[in-house]
Amino acid sequence: MPLTVTVPASLGTRPAQDTRTFLTWDTSESGKVRFLLPVAVYPPGKDDPVKPPGSYQDYLALLRGLADYHAKWRDEVDTTVDGHPATLMTATTDWSLNGTLGCPEADGDAHDDCYGLQPEYALRVAVIDIGERTPLVSWTTVNTDQQRDTSAAFTRFEAILRSLKFSDTP
């Protein structure tokens, strides 16, 4: 999904990774901003990835279902990102949920190549409805073992989302 986004100078001038399905800035434990078109997800407790839900509502249901596996969701807000419906929410967990947000590649290892909720992080997550394919998932992380206050990072992330513009050309 072609897009442009403005990030603060503190995240650097270039992303750490920029592929067809994954875009990330990764400057510190609390300086991560990620955009993912999930190609696969790992259901909790499963060793094999599955195709992610194809609709915005089904993907949101998958995330909300993680509450059965110790995920905690709060501060949920319905909004829009460049005119697209989106849901913002904050996530924490008591257990590692590797690969539950998704993988940028179908054969990604849940622990090394994919993304999910982790006990030491609070995430501000945006699920953005981009039409007929898997939603775009974006998030920022705050390592709560090192930093208890998430407000500055979450405010910065929401400003980044307001700057996001989707392009019509691939």
Is 129's pLDDT higher than 60?
Answer: yes
Residue 15 has which token pair? 């992303």
CA–chain centroid gap for 102, Å, is 8
Instruction: Give the length of the chain.
Output: 170
Percent of the chain's residues with pLDDT above 70: 97
Tell whether pTM > 0.75: yes
pLDDT in tens, 11-52: 888 999 999 999 999 887 667 999 999 999 999 989 999 999
How far, in Å, are 31, 77, 141, 144, 159 from residue 43 at the CA level?
27, 24, 21, 25, 31
* The pLDDT value given to residue 23: 95
d(CA 126, CA 144): 19
* The pLDDT value given to residue 57: 96
Q: What mean pLDDT comes out for the span 59-75?
A: 97
Is 152's pLDDT higher than 70?
Answer: yes
What three-state secondary structure class fits 156?
helix
* The pLDDT value given to residue 16: 92
Q: What mean pLDDT comes out for the span 41-68?
A: 95
Confidence of residue 148 (pLDDT cuts 50, 70, 90): confident
54: number of Cβ within 10 Å: 11
